[in-house]
């Protein structure tokens, strides 16, 4: 077992420069004394919050969750920003899932249809848009809770598995190159 770890560590110290740069934020977090469990939970929650179907709310939610659960805000924001493209990609699926859960009519996707609705009844249209958004939030919560648990256990497994290698890689980055 020890031989396998040492071999794995050698491979990590010879890692390409790009991999080292990608792992550097995580190395910095582990150097701060962040446990693998806390790091995995921070990353999992940050990533799931990044998919929250309300634009502009994810940073504030990360701050609130990090303070409430005493997690690492930097790790949460790192995962939040990494997962932000998913927010745009998953908005419509969350709206559609919300429509399915609550048995509501479909959101009109054409701009001309929305414009007609706003011209005819602007208050009712705003109410409907808020209803679709609320249903998307409920759909996100239904998906996010189990997905966060799965992601947490997966990340914890990976972090614990490579934890000795990360320490070795961190040390190799601080050493001066040999000539």
Mean residue pLDDT across the chain? 79
pLDDT value at residue 170: 44
Model confidence over 161-175: pLDDT tens digits?
A: 776 655 554 444 444
> Assign residue 31 a region: left if phi > 0, alpha if psi is -120 to 50, beta otherwise?
alpha
144 or 118, higher pLDDT? 144
pLDDT value at residue 163: 64
Top-confidence range, 7-11, 18-22, 159-163: 159-163
Query: Does the pLDDT at position 112 exceed 90?
Result: no
Model confidence over 72-81: pLDDT tens digits?
A: 888 899 899 9
Query: Does the pLDDT at position 9 exceed 60?
Result: no
- Count other Cβ atoms within 10 Å, centred on residue 41: 22
Q: What does the alpha-carbon distance between residue 161 and residue 167 come to, in Å, rounded to a whole number? A: 12
Q: What does the alpha-carbon distance between residue 21 and residue 157 come to, in Å, rounded to a whole number? A: 22
- Count other Cβ atoms within 10 Å, centred on residue 112: 8
Q: What does the alpha-carbon distance between residue 140 and residue 162 come to, in Å, rounded to a whole number? A: 31
pTM attached to this predicted model? 0.70
Q: What does the alpha-carbon distance between residue 16 and residue 14 come to, in Å, rounded to a whole number? A: 6
CB 128 within 8 A of CB 102: no
Model confidence over 42-92: pLDDT tens digits?
A: 999 999 999 999 988 999 999 999 999 988 888 899 899 999 999 889 988
Pick the closest to residue 166 from 19, 2, 1 (CA basis): 19
């Amino acid at each position: 077992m020890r031989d396998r770890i040492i071999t794995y560590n050698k491979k990590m110290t010879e890692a390409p420069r790009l991999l080292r740069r990608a792992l550097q934020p995580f190395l910095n977090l582990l150097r701060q004394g962040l446990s693998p469990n806390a790091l995995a939970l921070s990353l999992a929650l940050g990533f799931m919050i990044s998919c929250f179907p309300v634009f502009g709310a994810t940073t504030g939610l990360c701050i609130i969750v990090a303070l409430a659960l005493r997690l690492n805000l930097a790790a949460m924001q790192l995962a939040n920003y990494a997962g932000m493209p998913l927010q745009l990609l998953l908005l419509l699926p969350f709206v559609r899932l919300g429509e399915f859960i609550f048995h509501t009519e479909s959101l009109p996707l054409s701009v001309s249809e929305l414009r007609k609705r706003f011209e005819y009844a602007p208050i009712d249209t705003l109410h409907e848009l808020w209803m679709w958004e609320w249903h998307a939030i409920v759909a996100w919560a239904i998906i996010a809770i189990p997905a966060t648990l799965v992601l947490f256990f997966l990340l914890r497994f990976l972090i614990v598995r490579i934890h000795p290698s990360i320490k070795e890689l961190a040390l190799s980055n601080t050493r001066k190159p040999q000539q």
